[in-house]
């Protein structure tokens, strides 16, 4: 029985052996994708979280049945955006081929953005929640969401609209929270793409205020910039962004 047990485990020791360096080493002349953001004045663009995967350097995992299995290796790289001189654009380039002994390949890119100064929307706001966007380059599932995405190819330009939402949370946190909201969970699967431009339009003057319920299952009140109030129970009336677009 001992011999059989050793035979089963040896392949796993080979998969997770520490003799192979897991460092990235992108070739200098390798293909890259440029990610650029047309930055609104009152919004911060946070660094990119870049995920590389490797079939060669695999991670050992424990399945729900208690069995030991493996999956493609995972390497996280943080890449900051750099301002482009004379413009409101920030950008950086990411290598498709991560190189190294593991043969790392680009899997996905995710970055967040948030309002620069949350106190501009009220001195009593306690938290500033960002929004995000994800680009997928392989067959692995996106790093968040339900796995759905929009397919794009070639040079990609994405334009989307965002609004400030101030939630007065009265159940758990008992605090006002600012978020930047629009179309949720922007996720794109890209093919033959070497250029991405994200151009968010942010309507900072069209703040929506949400007065949260005082009891579980209670009623929330959504107040739009024109003073319109709508009652919401358990998310039955989400924020109407089409309504916001029409407001002057």
Cβ(89)–Cβ(38) below 8 Å = yes
What would the pLDDT profile of 13-27 be if each residue is shown by its tens digit? 344 444 677 889 999
Residue partners of 156: CB distance under 8 A and separation at least 6: 188, 190, 193, 195, 196, 197
Q: Stretch 46-58: mean pLDDT, rounded?
A: 94
Q: What average pLDDT does this structure show over 186-193?
A: 96
Q: Which two tokens stand for residue 68?
A: 């030991």
Res 78 pLDDT > 50 = yes
Q: Which of 164, 167, 174 is nearest to 232 (CA)?
A: 167
Over residues 192-223, the pLDDT tens digits come to: 999 999 999 999 999 999 999 988 888 999 99
Q: What percent of the chain has pLDDT over 90?
A: 65
The per-residue pLDDT for 1 is 39
What was the pLDDT predicted at 16? 44
Scanning 40-199, the segments in alpha helix (DSSP H) are none
């Amino acid at each position: 029985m001992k011999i059989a047990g050793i035979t089963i485990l040896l392949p796993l020791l080979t998969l997770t052996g520490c003799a192979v360096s897991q460092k990235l080493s992108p070739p200098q002349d390798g293909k890259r994708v440029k990610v650029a953001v047309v930055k609104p004045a009152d919004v911060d663009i946070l660094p990119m979280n870049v995920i590389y995967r490797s079939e060669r350097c695999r991670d050992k995992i424990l399945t729900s049945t208690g069995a030991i299995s493996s999956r493609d290796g995972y390497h996280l790289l943080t890449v900051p955006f750099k301002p482009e001189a004379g413009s409101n654009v920030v950008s950086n380039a990411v290598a498709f081929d991560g190189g190294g002994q593991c043969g790392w390949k680009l899997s996905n890119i995710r970055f967040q953005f948030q309002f620069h100064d949350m106190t501009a929307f009220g001195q009593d706001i306690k938290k500033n929640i960002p929004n995000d966007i994800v680009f997928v380059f392989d067959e692995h599932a996106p790093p968040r969401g339900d796995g759905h995405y929009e397919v794009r190819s070639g040079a990609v330009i994405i334009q989307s609209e965002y609004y400030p939402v101030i939630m007065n949370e009265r159940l758990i946190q008992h605090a006002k929270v600012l978020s930047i909201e629009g179309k949720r969970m922007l996720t794109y699967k890209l093919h033959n793409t070497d250029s991405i431009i994200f151009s968010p339009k942010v309507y900072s003057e069209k703040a929506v205020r949400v007065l949260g319920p005082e009891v579980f299952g209670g009623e929330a009140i959504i107040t739009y910039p024109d003073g319109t109030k709508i009652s919401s129970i358990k998310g039955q009336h989400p924020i109407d962004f089409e309504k916001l677009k029409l407001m002057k």
